[in-house]
Amino acid sequence: MQINRTTGLIEQVDYIASPNCDEFPNIDAIDLLVLHCISLPPGEFGGDGIKQLFTNQLNANEHPYYQNIATMKVSAHVLIRRDAKLIQFVPFNRRAWHAGQSMFKDRQQCNDFSIGIELEGTDNTLFTESQYVQLANLTRQLLNIYPKIVRNRIVGHSDIAPQRKNDPGKKFDWQKYFALLD
């Protein structure tokens, strides 16, 4: 896996451009990696719901849950599917809209200084071994590009928005993930 520093894209990975991004206020300020989990419809894996959400093409009539989220303008830099396939939605040199109202160490608006990675899953299901391996591989690449991201600056969505979010959830094995980084 190789990230092109100029384009911000992972080479040889599917790229589906999300409109839900813009320029970082200061790209040199990136010092946070935020891990999320998502499944659409909730608890279902492998469908096109996530792609549709991140590209503003989610049909509110397709599933009752979608009525609440179809108009949301959200994205992440990358999605890691259950089989570890990567799909990139936002180049790493652009700001993805993944964190919403958030705070890390007294700094608000975490989108301004973070990279967001979604794992296909739920906060109460185990993630796959291949997802952990792929996440660790991707993280190592990102750490090379963004050296200000260090271990204590790799967090879950629940850490930066605890009143609103609980992902990646209690089933995410932080110890396993960090062991794979070593």
Catalytic residues: 118
| Count of beta carbons in the 10 Å neighbourhood of residue 26 | 9
Residue identified by tokens 């991707």 is 138
For residue 110, CA distances in Å to 41, 50, 59 come to: 26, 21, 28
Tell me which residue has tokens 């989610």: 58
In angstroms, the CA 112 to CA 78 distance is 17
- CA 104, CA 31: separation in Å to the nearest integer? 11
At 67 the three-state DSSP class reads helix
Are 131 and 178 spatial neighbours (Cβ–Cβ below 8 Å)? no
